[in-house]
């Protein structure tokens, strides 16, 4: 998208060259502008699937390693507010030929990435080298609407030149709306219906970990998703250039960096995530990090995703009765959805995303 905007700006300038007569005078005049571009949020919720906690003794020698057991494939995608098209309407007044005060309002609607859900299902068949295996099930979060309202002071550096760069800064307020996806609603409903408990990880100097099934007295009712998409105050820095294409008309390229005071957040089961994440750090064995229990949640009855069922494994007779204990070795978890959610170990990753980011706009202004 950035390359397309750059080509469009260059085309506007080249086409307009023969029509240029004089630089546009803005002193004591009002102008309106219309622009289009995109806004790219800079923050994201990174997957903790590759995290490792190393515990050391008094001599700073490693004595235990706890590795987050999730599938590292989840690390290739992060939960963020996706870049989206933004249209902006602006009005400005030139106090003199150097200083302009601009007010603007924009509109943007964009997706909010995928929530990371990972599960290790009961009776899942493992490779010989595996002690555990979590599978990744991304869940679309939803869509976010942003309406930024900004007041910006701009300083023009070459007011008599056709090509006029400018810098500025200002403040604003962004109205935020969020619509959860049907997939997130379904995940939340399933979590509300589920019962589960923390499955603590074991640790080893070799880094091998495995969740431990909690006792019946440790199982609790779970609660679904909670989302906070507050409106936010912001301040911003602006820079760009405008080019006079004909009398009263200018084309412009505008870039802004926005700093927001609040964040978007999504959480599960009354906290940030379902499951306690292993932190990426090194700590002494006698700290609270060593005593903390990390791990997924074990859901013994109703799970959060429908991925398959217990059935005959490949190579076993398809008529094998898997309810018969005598056929235990012939049966396992088969990835064929059957309409029922699947019990097992679950992680659901939430977190917070700052609204701040970069805006790039191309448009035209008209002087009255």
Q: Which residues contact 62 (CB under 8 A, 6 or more apart)?
A: 54, 55, 56, 205
Compute the Cα dihedral for 295, 300, 306, 309 and give only its sign.
positive
- In the block, which residue shows the tokens 């977190």? 351
Q: Which residue has the higher pLDDT, 293 or 103?
A: 103
State percent of the chain over pLDDT 90.
Answer: 70
Residue 15 pLDDT > 60, yes or no?
no
Residue 12 pLDDT > 50, yes or no?
no
For residue 208, what pLDDT is reported? 58
Under a CB-based contact definition with an 8 Å cutoff, are residues 97 and 26 in contact? yes
Residue 346 pLDDT > 90, yes or no?
yes
- State the Cα–Cα distance between residues 292 and 288, nearest whole angstrom: 6
pTM, whole model, 2 decimals? 0.85
The correct CATH number of 2-305+341-367 out of 3.30.70.260, 2.40.160.20, 2.60.40.10, 3.40.50.1820 is 2.40.160.20
Other CB atoms closer than 10 Å to residue 315's CB: what's the count?
6
State percent of the chain over pLDDT 70.
Answer: 92
Under a CB-based contact definition with an 8 Å cutoff, are residues 199 and 211 in contact? yes
Under a CB-based contact definition with an 8 Å cutoff, are residues 114 and 141 in contact? yes
């Amino acid at each position: 998208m950035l390359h397309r905007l750059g080509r469009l700006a260059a085309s506007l300038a080249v086409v307009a060259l023969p029509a240029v007569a004089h630089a546009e005078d803005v002193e004591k005049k009002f102008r309106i502008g219309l622009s289009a571009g995109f806004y790219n949020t800079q923050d994201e919720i990174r997957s903790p699937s590759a995290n490792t906690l190393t515990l050391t003794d008094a001599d700073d020698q490693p004595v235990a390693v706890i590795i987050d057991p999730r599938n590292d494939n989840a690390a290739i995608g992060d939960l963020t507010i996706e870049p989206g098209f933004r249209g902006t309407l602006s009005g400005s007044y030139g106090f003199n030929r150097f200083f302009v005060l601009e007010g603007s309002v924009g509109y943007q609607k964009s997706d909010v990435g995928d929530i990371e859900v990972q599960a290790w299902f009961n009776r899942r068949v493992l490779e010989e080298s595996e002690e555990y295996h979590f599978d990744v099930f991304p869940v679309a979060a939803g869509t976010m609407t942003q309406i930024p309202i900004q007041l910006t002071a701009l300083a023009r550096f070459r007011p008599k030149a056709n090509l006029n760069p400018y810098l500025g800064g200002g403040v604003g307020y962004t109205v935020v709306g969020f619509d959860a996806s049907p997939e997130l609603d379904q995940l939340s409903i399933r979590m509300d219906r589920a019962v589960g408990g923390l499955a603590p990880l074991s640790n080893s100097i070799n880094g091998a970990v495995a969740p431990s099934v909690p006792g019946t007295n440790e199982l609790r009712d779970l609660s679904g998703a909670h989302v906070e998409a507050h409106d936010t105050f912001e301040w911003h820095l602006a820079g760009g250039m405008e080019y006079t294409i004909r009398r009263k008309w200018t084309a412009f390229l505008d870039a802004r960096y926005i700093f927001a005071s609040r964040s978007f957040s999504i959480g599960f089961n009354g906290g940030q995530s379902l499951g306690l994440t292993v932190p990426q750090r090194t700590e002494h064995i006698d700290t609270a990090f060593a005593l903390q229990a990390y791990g997924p949640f074990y859901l013994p009855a109703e799970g959060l995703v429908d991925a398959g069922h217990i059935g005959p494994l490949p190579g076993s007779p398809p008529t094998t009765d898997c309810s018969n204990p005598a056929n235990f070795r012939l049966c396992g978890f088969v990835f064929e959805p059957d309409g029922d959610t699947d019990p097992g170990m679950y992680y659901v990753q939430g977190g917070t995303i700052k609204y701040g980011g970069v805006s790039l706009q191309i448009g035209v202004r008209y002087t009255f």
